Chains A and B, each alone.
Chain A
Amino acid sequence: MAALLEIDGLSVDFAGSQRPIHALRDVRFSIERGRIVGLVGESGSGKSTLSLAILRLLAPSARIAAGTIRFEGVDLFALSEAALRALRGERIAMVFQDPMSTLNPVLSVGAQMIDVQFRRADLSRAEKRARAVAILKRVGIPDPERRIDDYPHQFSGGMRQRISIAMALMSRPDLLIADEPTTALDVTLEAQILDLLRDLRRDFAGAILLVSHHLGVVAEICDEVVVLYAGELVEQAPVAELFANPRHPYTRALLDCDPGRLAADAQSFPTIPGRLPDLGAPRTACVFVARCPLAFERCRAEAPALTTVGPGHRASCHLLDG
């Protein structure tokens, strides 16, 4: 069976002042139905570019330099605007970091939740409202019958994020892209939203692409993890495998930096010295070479290819060649 989403050799460039910036280079992975895939990386890794590319919502300065994204076998880049609109929000929905930017401040939550069902000509307004109430209850909004007529500003940050998740799920999408859905929330609310996403999984048949810089969040709810560094996929593995047996030095460094994994007797915080490489430069070396503690001659001369190192586990590092 074909995967729900297949990203194949995707490269995205942004127009730079002198030369293009390569935000994504030759990224390939797929998402199976029913899975939660975590997309992890730091600023500049290309994770937001990737999630926007799936919805074809990239800025005009971006250009798909190569590759395809297929959704149930259909090439998303070949679709007409009309066909794409039928997909966006319906079959592929997105939850953003800041719920206030998703919700319209001058419309009540109920009005917005009825509006997003505009394609359902078969339902009356009252039925749409009843569906909205039901899903608000499902995501844990207390007293939804009464609160549905409130405006977004009358809800707390955590409740607003619950509402935007509810809106994204209204159409029962096949793919939910959640871009840093808990980053703007306090820790107890973050934990509540993670509990909610885990609960929702049981009655949600689709797949989730969870974009996060936070390894703790990924460990909590994902089945698989894709690690991006400077626009390249450097490692992909089932979640338990990635945390137990990271094979790329960047993944290892990122795990070490996680404050939640700090040793009890640690004296200082681990860091990753150095900085991202120039994203405009042509790639003639390993993308992580400048910061890699294990780099050797070959890493400076040649970019490593992705190697399969175990079931569902791939990494790109010359050290894996044995």
Chain B
Amino acid sequence: MAELLEIERLRVRFRAVKPLNAWLAGIRDPMISAVADVSLSIPEGGAFGLVGESGSGKTTLGRAIMGLVPTEGGEIRLKGVPFPRRGGPALKAWRHQIAMTFQDPTGSLSPRFTVRSLITEPFRIHGVTGRDLGAEARRLVSLVGLSPDFLDRYAHELSGGQARRVGIARALALDPRLLIADEPTAGLDVSVQGEVLNLLARLRHELGIALLLITHNLAAVRLSAERLGVMYMGRLIETGPTATVFRAAAHPYTAALLAAIPIADPTRHRERAIAGEVPSLLNRPPGCEFHTRCPYVQARCRAEAPAKREIAPDHLARCHFPLGAGGSG
């Protein structure tokens, strides 16, 4: 299968502390790596679920793919073409092919525009002429399952689920090849979450677009993406086929995430949650960055950062002692 998106050893760094404050606080490096050495690929029409907790770098990775934050190393290629180093027409062409829906569904829609203007704005921005914008607007709202009555509404007149649909309609305006959906289910009622995820699945099927689903909701990924990656402190610590990772997570952090999902069955008991919290990105632990919370930590984990290793074909994890590998795990 042809790869649509390829990311290799991508790095995004931010200045987290002002230089003087860093010096005063004794912080050696005031820069944080929000995305560190991330590699992944998505084939044409494929879906990749990117999961992780707050601050793990998943949104930053999505924004880097869109060219919304500068990268510092590594490469992003779309259909084999590297990300344009200069802005201008090349960047516009790049963004023609990749669209993103943002976390805050209502906040990312201008309150002063009607739905009609909101979803046809991409045509104006990209100077697409020769199309009947009224017809396009009707096509787009029906594509996301809204009736044409919505075209004259404003963002504040939409429910959370409807606002998501409008955001998706706008993202689809220019027929992108890849849709990056950043937390499409956050803040929605559980019945509405299912509607949005079903919609994304239908659009993939109907339009053949690829999907990068960014979410902290592991359950959402299970049916929505064939492959998934788990991020921790800016690193992809495990990638693999979704079914495999759910069945046999190799990294203890992935296993902890899966075990932390509350079980909607009072007769079954969840194991106790893993202790501790994510360390500061300004102060990355030496060795394996998960060793401060890992229930299986050993001396080697504190000293040496684990490299990516293949657990099974297409299943990678950064762990010295992957689970299920026998021995210590």
A interface residues with partner B (beta carbon < 8 Å): 42-43, 156-159, 186-192, 194-195, 213-220, 222, 239-240, 243-244, 253-255, 257-262, 266-272, 275
B208-222 interface mask toward A, CB cutoff 8 Å, 1 = contact, 0 = none?
000000001111101
Q: Contacts A186-B53, A187-B257, A188-B256 known; A262 to B222 CB distance under 8 Å?
A: yes
29 A-B pairs whose Cβ atoms sit less than 8 Å apart in the complex:
A42-B190, A156-B277, A186-B54, A187-B216, A187-B257, A188-B257, A188-B273, A192-B275, A194-B262, A213-B190, A215-B190, A216-B262, A218-B264, A219-B264, A222-B266, A240-B266, A258-B190, A258-B264, A259-B190, A259-B194, A259-B219, A259-B220, A260-B261, A260-B263, A261-B265, A262-B219, A269-B194, A269-B197, A271-B195
Q: When the two chains form the complex, which single residue of A188, A253, A259, A271 contacts B260, counting CB atoms closer than 8 Å?
A: A188
In the complex, whether B270 has a CB less than 8 A from a CB of chain A is yes
> Which residues of chain B come closer than 8 Å to A261, judged between CB atoms?
264-265
> Which residues of chain A come closer than 8 Å to B257, judged between CB atoms?
187-188
For the complex with contacts A194-B273, A243-B264, A272-B191, 15 further pairs of A-B residues with Cβ separation under 8 Å are A157-B54, A187-B216, A191-B262, A216-B264, A219-B262, A219-B265, A219-B266, A220-B266, A243-B267, A254-B190, A259-B222, A260-B219, A262-B222, A268-B223, A269-B195
> Bound complex: CA of A229 vs CA of B272, how far in Å?
32
Report A117 CB to chain B, min CB distance, Å. Answer: 28
Q: Contacts A187-B53, A258-B264, A260-B219 known; A271 to B194 CB distance under 8 Å?
A: yes
Question: What size tier do the contact residues of chain B reach?
Answer: 35 or more
Cβ contact within 8 Å between B54 and A260: no
In the complex, whether B8 has a CB less than 8 A from a CB of chain A is no
Cβ contact within 8 Å between A269 and B256: no
Which 3 pairs between the two chains have the least Cβ-Cβ distance? A216-B262, A259-B219, A269-B194
Q: When the two chains form the complex, which single residue of A43, A195, A215, A270 contacts B264, counting CB atoms closer than 8 Å?
A: A215
Report A109 CB to chain B, min CB distance, Å. Answer: 17
> Which residues of chain B come closer than 8 Å to A158, judged between CB atoms?
277
> Bound complex: CA of A43 vs CA of B159, how far in Å?
10
> Which residues of chain A come closer than 8 Å to B198, judged between CB atoms?
268-269, 271
Q: Which residue of chain B lies nearest to A241 when distances are taken between CB atoms in the complex?
A: B266
In the complex, whether B7 has a CB less than 8 A from a CB of chain A is no
Q: Which residue of chain A lies nearest to B267 when distances are taken between CB atoms in the complex?
A: A240
In the complex, chain B residues 234-290 whose Cβ is within 8 Å of any chain A Cβ: 256-257, 259-267, 270, 272-275, 277-278
Cβ contact within 8 Å between A190 and B262: yes
Q: Contacts A259-B222, A261-B265 known; A195 to B272 CB distance under 8 Å?
A: yes
In the complex, whether B114 has a CB less than 8 A from a CB of chain A is no
Report A182 CB to chain B, min CB distance, Å. Answer: 9
> Bound complex: CA of A254 vs CA of B266, how far in Å?
16
Cβ contact within 8 Å between B194 and A192: no
Q: Which residue of chain A lies nearest to B253 when distances are taken between CB atoms in the complex?
A: A188
In the complex, whether B62 has a CB less than 8 A from a CB of chain A is no
> Bound complex: CA of A221 vs CA of B244, how far in Å?
30
Q: When the two chains form the complex, which single residue of A191, A213, A253, A254 contacts B270, counting CB atoms closer than 8 Å?
A: A191
In the complex, whether B189 has a CB less than 8 A from a CB of chain A is yes
In the complex, whether B151 has a CB less than 8 A from a CB of chain A is no
Cβ contact within 8 Å between A243 and B54: no
Cβ contact within 8 Å between A253 and B265: no
In the complex, whether B39 has a CB less than 8 A from a CB of chain A is no
Q: When the two chains form the complex, which single residue of A244, A260, A269, A275 contacts B262, counting CB atoms closer than 8 Å?
A: A260
> Bound complex: CA of A244 vs CA of B277, how far in Å?
35
In the complex, whether B31 has a CB less than 8 A from a CB of chain A is no
> Bound complex: CA of A214 vs CA of B195, how far in Å?
17
> Which residues of chain A come closer than 8 Å to B54, judged between CB atoms?
157, 186
> Bound complex: CA of A270 vs CA of B219, how far in Å?
13
> Which residues of chain A come closer than 8 Å to B274, judged between CB atoms?
188, 191
Report A188 CB to chain B, min CB distance, Å. Answer: 5
> Which residues of chain B come closer than 8 Å to A275, judged between CB atoms?
159
Q: Which residue of chain B lies nearest to A276 when distances are taken between CB atoms in the complex?
A: B159
> Bound complex: CA of A243 vs CA of B265, how far in Å?
7
> Bound complex: CA of A243 vs CA of B190, how far in Å?
16
> Which residues of chain B come closer than 8 Å to A194, judged between CB atoms?
262, 273
Cβ contact within 8 Å between B194 and A270: yes
> Which residues of chain A come closer than 8 Å to B160, judged between CB atoms?
43
Q: Contacts A188-B256, A192-B273 known; A42 to B266 CB distance under 8 Å?
A: no
Q: When the two chains form the complex, which single residue of B219, B220, B263 contacts A219, counting CB atoms closer than 8 Å?
A: B263
Q: Which residue of chain B lies nearest to A182 when distances are taken between CB atoms in the complex?
A: B262
> Bound complex: CA of A243 vs CA of B262, how far in Å?
14
Report A163 CB to chain B, min CB distance, Å. Answer: 14
Q: Contacts A42-B189, A42-B190, A191-B270 known; A269 to B223 CB distance under 8 Å?
A: yes
Cβ contact within 8 Å between A217 and B262: yes
Q: Most A CB atoms within 10 A — which of B192, B193, B217, B264? A: B264
Cβ contact within 8 Å between B262 and A257: no
In the complex, whether B201 has a CB less than 8 A from a CB of chain A is yes
> Bound complex: CA of A259 vs CA of B260, how far in Å?
14
> Which residues of chain B come closer than 8 Å to A255, judged between CB atoms?
264
Report B163 CB to chain A, min CB distance, Å. Answer: 13
Q: Which residue of chain A lies nearest to B258 when distances are taken between CB atoms in the complex?
A: A187
Report B77 CB to chain A, min CB distance, Å. Answer: 31
> Bound complex: CA of A215 vs CA of B193, how far in Å?
14
Report A286 CB to chain B, min CB distance, Å. Answer: 18
> Bound complex: CA of A244 vs CA of B267, how far in Å?
9
Q: Which residue of chain B lies nearest to A291 when distances are taken between CB atoms in the complex?
A: B191
Q: Which residue of chain B lies nearest to A191 when distances are taken between CB atoms in the complex?
A: B273
Report B156 CB to chain A, min CB distance, Å. Answer: 14
Q: Most B CB atoms within 10 A — which of A43, A187, A271? A: A187
> Which residues of chain B come closer than 8 Å to A260, judged between CB atoms?
219, 261-264
In the complex, chain B residues 71-130 whose Cβ is within 8 Å of any chain A Cβ: none
B163-195 interface mask toward A, CB cutoff 8 Å, 1 = contact, 0 = none?
000000000000000000000000001111111
Q: Contacts A188-B260, A191-B273, A195-B272 known; A257 to B266 CB distance under 8 Å?
A: no
Q: When the two chains form the complex, which single residue of A187, A190, A218, A266 contacts B218, counting CB atoms closer than 8 Å?
A: A187
